Amino acid sequence: MPELAEVEFFRKEWDPGVGHVVTAVALHQGTRLFRSCAPVLLRENLPRARLIRSEAHGKRLLFRFRKDGEEAWSWLGLHLGMSGKLRCERDGHRAEKHDHLVLAQRGRALVFSDPRQFGRVEFAVGSETPAWWRNLPPPILSSRFTRERMELFLARHGRAPVKAMLLMQEGFPGLGNWMVDEISWRAQIDPARAAGSLSGAERKKLYRSIRMVCRIATTTIAIDFRDPPADWLFHQRWSKGGRCPRTGEALRYDQVAGRTTCWSPANQR
DNA sequence: TACAATGTTTTAAG
DNA sequence: CCTTAAAACATTGT
């Protein structure tokens, strides 16, 4: 599921473990999730370490641990990929088939599951923020995500379809397939158009739509998976037969930039 | 059976 | 060096 709002929801699933010490680590060594780190480092460093706090940035998550009385941090980075989830289980939880990482604490277990294994675990120890958490692009809902920045990015990728450009995490951290469709629909732009072909008015509308969809998603889905507003494309897109909330016409499902794209031709030009 | 699934990385081509 | 398109990754569900 995970795009910006869902990732933030899953970040908070581990909140019950904040302030508590990890007593044991169980992981499925050799699975694709651990292709970017050495699982032995998690085993060596996380037991006896206390979960201090967590952060989300776009689709990426960072959990910080530290052993009492020691200086160095342990930095655990997670990406949920296509099917990753975080959840909190009771003490003594037995890892199920796709529970690839389980951090046991006294009273609970923090679980990272991911059937498709497109997710990723990163890990580092030290006082410095690890390289993979530095120099991330401005979050869409921050003041650093300016109209000017978006216009530069759009010009740089002028020959790419709007759909492909909006999916690029260096420009729009956290946007995924459904959010990009929602944004294109709201901005009334054909997602297959070249990014460089948008008029000034269309670029302005696109910028506002990006911020609006992220802002509302953050105050609905990210809280407890509650639904976004009833007039969103979101509610129509999941099964064939959906209708455009604006025109009432049948939605179309086409491949754009290699992804199934739900859009309303009468509404998007 | 065959295809698609809310994502990224690698490879190849322009 | 830069941008863009397509394949690959692993598993499940329709």
A 206-225: CB within 7 Å of strand B: none
Q: Which residues touch strand C (CB under 7 A)?
A: A 31-32, 82, 97-98, 115-118, 156-161, 164-165, 195, 257-258
| A258-CA/B3-C1' distance, Å | 14
How far from each other are the two terminal CA atoms of chain A, in whole angstroms? 28
Nucleotide nearest to A196 (CA to C1'): C3
The answer to whether the C-beta of A159 is closer than 7 A to strand B is: no
| A239-CA/C14-C1' distance, Å | 12
Nucleotide nearest to A221 (CA to C1'): B6
What is the predicted pLDDT for the residue at A221? Answer: 86
| A147-CA/B11-C1' distance, Å | 33
| A241-CA/C14-C1' distance, Å | 16
Nucleotide nearest to A5 (CA to C1'): B6
pTM of the model: 0.97
| A20-CA/B12-C1' distance, Å | 48
Nucleotide nearest to A156 (CA to C1'): C3
- Ranges of residues in chain A with a pLDDT under 50 are none
What is the predicted pLDDT for the residue at A268? Answer: 98
| A259-CA/C4-C1' distance, Å | 15
What is the predicted pLDDT for the residue at A50? Answer: 98
Nucleotide nearest to A36 (CA to C1'): B9
Smallest CA–C1' distance to C2, residue: A156
pLDDT tens, residue by residue, A40-96: 999 999 999 999 999 999 999 999 999 999 999 999 999 999 999 999 999 999 999
Nucleotide nearest to A161 (CA to C1'): C4
What is the predicted pLDDT for the residue at A1? Answer: 53
Spatial contact of A147 and A96, defined as CB atoms under 8 Å apart: no
